[in-house]
Amino acid sequence: MSPIIAAPSSANSVNRRESHPHAGVVGRFAPSPTGALHTGSLVAAIGSYLMAKHAGGDWLLRLDDLDTRRQLPGMADDIMRTLELFGLHWDGEVSRQSRYLEEYGRAFAALQQQEVVYPCSCSRREIAGSASAPHHHDDGIPYPGTCRGGINDAAVVRSWRVRVPEEEICFVDFRKGHICQKLPDVSGDFALRRGDGEFAYQLAVVVDDFLTGVNQVVRGDDLLSSTPRQIYLQRLLGYPEPEYCHLPLVTGPDGMKLSKRDYLISHQLGSVAGRERAVLLAVLRFLGLNPPRDLDGAPCGALLEWGVAHFDPSHIPTRGGVILP
Per-residue pLDDT tens for 154-197?
A: 899 999 999 999 999 999 999 999 999 999 999 999 999 999 99
**Per-domain residue ranges of the chain:** 13-100+202-315, 103-201
| More confidently predicted of 135 and 86 | 86
Best CATH choice for the domain 103-201 from the list 1.10.260.30, 3.40.50.1820, 3.30.1490.20, 3.90.800.10: 3.90.800.10
pLDDT at 139: 62
**CATH 3.40.50.620 matches 13-100+202-315:** yes
pLDDT in tens, 90-107: 999 999 999 999 999 999
| Interatomic CA distance for residues 285 and 46, integer angstroms | 12
Give me the pLDDT at residue 104, please: 98
Query: Residues 221-237: pLDDT tens digits?
Result: 999 999 999 999 999 99
pLDDT at 252: 76
- The predicted pLDDT at position 132 comes to 52
Output the pTM of the full model. 0.88
Whether residue 20 is predicted with pLDDT greater than 50 in this model: the reply is no
What is the mean predicted confidence (pLDDT) over 9-25?
Answer: 46
Quick: pLDDT tens for 62-95. Answer: 999 988 777 778 899 999 999 999 999 999 999 9
pLDDT at position 13: 38
Mean pLDDT for the stretch of residues 308-317: 95
